Amino acid sequence: MLMTTPEPAMTREVIELGDITIGLQRRQVKHVYLSVHPPLGSVTLVAPPDAHDDVLRAYAITRLGWIRQQRERMHEQARETPRQYLERESHMLWGRRHLLSVVERDGRPNVQVDHRRITLSVRPGSSQSRREEVMHDWQRSLLHATLPPLIAQWEARLGVRVQRYFLQRMKTKWGSCNHRAGTVRFNTELVKKPKDLLEYVVVHELIHLLEPRHNERFKALLDVHCPSWREARLELNALPLSAAEQPRGARPLA
């Protein structure tokens, strides 16, 4: 089960890089992990106890661009309000911000997307709830087109088998797995995230078919198959989750 996590407490040892303060945590780990935490963008660096300060500082400097990028994303996401599906409203798709264009015309409602614009075509006088429904159906179709190849790829790599997957808007989870039934669930809000984060959630949930618990074996499997999983998890937490709704049907995998 992949859940949101709160921003960690500040650490005493820090690295100062201009306007950025990085909390340094020394643990019994083999690798260095740099993370930017929602909602305010605090930064932590986890390192082995014997790692030299100069080496850690040099590494942090090479990641300054990435840190600022993550903070900018969090700042933009924090300003988002509930969508009203109006002209020139901003919407996230696969990690990129798009402007919405609303076209009222007779005919079947549909959605088209190009480099920076999403065009929502609805019948004249369509309500906000109807516009939202059309958009959500389209977003689900994108996930249904993207998930099966990812699942198949990681089934082969992990040696597991998914019987069915579900799409569901969830309050506190990006995904979940019933290892006994061989089913997985994915939060529909993932369509707003970069595809590499969607892939991380797929890997996370499929590994639960091998190890149901979040124990050391599970983390070791993630380290092997998705070495940047800690950064991915924290980036996912930067986007608030929507209110829950009931699942709308399962998709069997061929």
What is the percent of the chain with per-residue pLDDT over 70, rounded to a whole number? 85
pLDDT higher than threshold 90 for residue 237: no
**Pairs from 66-73 (Cβ < 8 Å, separation ≥ 24):** 66/34, 67/20, 67/34, 67/36, 67/43, 68/20, 70/36, 70/41, 70/235, 70/238, 71/36, 71/41, 73/235, 73/238
What is the pLDDT at residue 80?
A: 58
Question: Predicted confidence band at 78 (pLDDT cuts at 50, 70, 90)?
Answer: low
In this prediction the pTM is 0.68
What pLDDT digit, counting tens, does each position of 192-222 carry? 999 999 999 999 999 999 999 989 999 999 9
| Beta carbons within 10 angstroms of residue 29's beta carbon | 14
Looking at this protein, which amino acid is placed at residue 217? R
Helix axes 195-207, 216-225, angle to 10 degrees: 140
- Work out the burial of residue 34: count CB atoms within 10 Å of its CB; fewer than 13 is exposed, 13-18 middle, 19 or more buried: buried
Calculate the alpha carbon distances from 131 to 33, 145, 240 in Å: 42, 21, 21
Q: How far apart are CA 55 and CA 14, in angstroms?
A: 14
pLDDT value, residue 40: 73
- The CA distance from 236 to 234, in Å, is 5
Q: How is residue 172 annotated by DSSP?
A: S
Q: Can you give the pLDDT at residue 137?
A: 96
pLDDT category of residue 5 using cuts at 50, 70 and 90: very low
CB–CB of 47/60 below 8 Å?
Answer: no
pLDDT for position 217? 94
Which residue's entry shows tokens 């039934």?
A: 181
Residue 63 has pLDDT above 50, yes or no: yes
Tell me what pLDDT residue 203 has. Answer: 97
Q: What is the mean pLDDT of residues 162-177?
A: 90
pLDDT > 60? residue 6: no
Q: Per-residue pLDDT for 253 more than 70? A: no
Non-local (6+) Cβ contacts of 90 within 8 A are: 80, 97, 98, 99, 100
